[in-house]
């Protein structure tokens, strides 16, 4: 993936009449210790196995040593972000170049890409009761008293396709695996009926620590659809009494701060505790539109044009990239074209945009809107 950065810069500088042919000064590199002494990238600057054949032909002998240095540094030094006098590049080695607070998008830290897979809808993290001697938070057998189920009520603010949940738990000894279900409501209690046939899964007991509490995921085989503003219950249950003092304890809250549901345990009938009010939980869902926003970079002067290159797989959706010079108050959308193929459906796109009509400022941002199954692997911008 790191091979992309040099390609991005080369394409940005030589890929269009506006920015090519000496129209823009070469980028000022932060690190030029490892210079590549050649003017022909296809000859010996970078081994051919580091980039695809389709892209080798795009990078011509007009590339300057500055561009080759950048390629060499970021390919071989695992640098996530390239910072230049008139732009930046980011191949998402980590999330340090992204405004994670402003973005609404999922990051895959294994393969270093962003997509619109699923994000957290409800995350209740005010955890004030983690003690194993609190029976109301117990799933299993505590001193001969067997709670076979626990549940947490919740509502969604919007209709969602639910893919995954998380609960905050700790294990004691070796109880059975937990069966997780999202069930409909019956007069304030869980009904025993699945809200959607897909919304059931398993938490393996071996995935739960016996020493510390932690967020444990349960991913459903397929997503299940739930409407908005409807009472549901996230139910965790055991198949049989595991034995005295074996089971799980759920972290949660004693202050009743979650407004859209309550915690309950089942020992033959559902009981709403007097002390333990809410179990800590997360509901995660598929979305169809995600937004990625870069960190702000200050230009040395007010730019009027931006040249963008990004590497992505549009899947069954799209990737729409735009640029702002006024810290995100105004964006101008890039009209891109495909300029190379990395592999399969992963393509390299390039486009230019006039940003002179935006309010005069120097706080530069990039934004990408991803829809469907689109994935974004890298992006870069140069401005002038």
Q: Residue 343: what pLDDT? A: 74
Alpha-carbon distances, residue 206 vs 178, 214, 218, 260, 335 (angstroms)? 11, 13, 13, 31, 50
Judge if 280 and 139 occupy the same domain.
yes
CATH number at residue 25: 2.60.120.260
Mean pLDDT by 10 residues, the chain (384 residues): 54 47 36 38 40 42 34 47 76 90 89 83 60 74 94 91 92 97 97 98 97 92 93 97 95 81 94 86 86 96 92 94 98 92 84 95 97 91 88
Q: How many structural domains is the chain composed of? A: 2
Judge if 203 and 242 occupy the same domain.
yes
Single out the residue in 262, 286, 310 at which a domain terminates: 286
Q: Residue 220: what pLDDT? A: 95
Judge if 132 and 92 occupy the same domain.
no
DSSP 156: -
pLDDT one-digit tens code per residue, 208-255: 999 999 999 999 999 999 999 999 999 999 999 999 999 999 988 777
Judge if 302 and 166 occupy the same domain.
no
Judge whether 272 and 251 are in contact, CB under 8 Å.
no
SS3 track for 292-330: EEECCEECCCCCCEEEEEEEEECCCCEEEEEEECECCCC
Q: Count other C-beta atoms under 10 Å from residue 129's C-beta.
A: 20
- 45-54: Cβ within 8 A, 24+ apart: 45/71, 45/72, 46/3, 46/6, 46/71, 46/72, 46/75, 50/3, 50/75, 51/3, 51/7, 52/340, 52/341, 52/342, 52/343, 54/340, 54/341, 54/342
* Residue in the structure block whose two tokens are 């090519």: 20
Judge if 146 and 277 occupy the same domain.
yes
Which residues are 294's β-sheet partners? 98
Q: Residue 89: what pLDDT? A: 86
Single out the residue in 244, 267, 286 at which a domain terminates: 286
pLDDT one-digit tens code per residue, 165-192: 999 999 999 999 999 999 999 999 999 9
In percent, the amount of the chain with pLDDT more than 90 equals: 49
Q: Residue 30: what pLDDT? A: 39
Give the β-pairing of 363-371 and 289-293.
antiparallel
Distance of alpha carbon 248 from alpha carbon 93, whole angstroms: 37
Judge if 349 and 237 occupy the same domain.
no
Judge if 282 and 317 occupy the same domain.
no
Judge if 105 and 22 occupy the same domain.
yes
In percent, the amount of the chain with pLDDT more than 70 equals: 74
Judge if 143 and 107 occupy the same domain.
no
247 lies in which domain range?
A: 118-286
Judge if 99 and 124 occupy the same domain.
no
Judge if 108 and 131 occupy the same domain.
no
Q: Residue 137: what pLDDT? A: 87
Judge if 123 and 252 occupy the same domain.
yes
Single out the residue in 251, 286, 321 at which a domain terminates: 286
Q: Residue 162: what pLDDT? A: 92
Q: How many helices (H) and strands (E) does the chain have?
A: 3, 29
* Global pTM value: 0.60
CATH number at residue 130: 2.60.120
């Amino acid at each position: 993936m790191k091979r992309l950065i040099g390609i991005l810069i080369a394409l940005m500088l030589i890929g269009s009449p506006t920015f090519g042919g000496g129209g823009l000064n070469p980028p000022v590199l932060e690190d030029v210790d490892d210079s590549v002494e050649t003017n022909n990238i296809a000859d010996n600057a970078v081994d051919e196995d580091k980039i695809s054949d389709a892209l080798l032909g795009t990078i011509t002998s007009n590339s300057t040593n500055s561009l080759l240095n950048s390629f060499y540094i970021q390919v071989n030094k695992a640098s996530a972000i390239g910072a230049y006098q008139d732009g930046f590049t980011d191949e998402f080695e980590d999330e340090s170049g992204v405004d994670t607070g402003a973005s609404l998008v999922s990051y895959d830290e294994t393969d270093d890409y962003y997509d619109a897979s699923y994000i957290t809808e409800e995350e209740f993290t005010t955890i004030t009761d983690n003690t194993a001697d609190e029976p109301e938070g117990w799933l299993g057998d505590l001193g001969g008293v067997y709670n076979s189920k626990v549940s947490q009520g919740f509502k969604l603010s919007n209709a969602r396709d639910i893919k995954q949940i998380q609960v905050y738990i700790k294990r004691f000894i070796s109880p059975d695996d937990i069966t997780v279900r999202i069930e409909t409501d019956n007069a304030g209690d869980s009904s025993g009926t699945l809200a959607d046939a897909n919304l059931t899964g398993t938490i393996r007991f071996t995935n739960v620590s016996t020493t510390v509490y932690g967020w444990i995921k349960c991913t459903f085989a397929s997503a299940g659809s739930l409407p908005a503003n409807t009472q549901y219950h996230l139910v965790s249950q055991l198949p049989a009494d595991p034995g005295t003092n074996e089971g799980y304890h759920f972290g949660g809250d004693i202050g009743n701060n979650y407004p859209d549901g309550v915690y309950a345990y089942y020992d033959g009938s559902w009981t709403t505790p007097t002390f333990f009010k809410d179990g800590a939980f997360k509901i995660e869902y598929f979305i169809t539109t995600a937004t990625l926003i870069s960190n702000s970079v200050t230009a040395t002067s007010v730019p009027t044009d931006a040249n963008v290159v990004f590497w992505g797989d549009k899947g069954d959706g799209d990737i729409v990239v735009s640029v702002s010079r006024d810290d995100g108050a105004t964006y101008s959308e890039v009209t891109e074209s495909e300029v190379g193929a990395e592999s399969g459906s992963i393509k390299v796109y390039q486009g230019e945009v006039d940003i002179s009509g935006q309010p005069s400022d120097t706080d530069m941002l990039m934004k990408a809107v991803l829809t469907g199954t689109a994935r974004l692997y890298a992006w870069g911008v140069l401005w002038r």
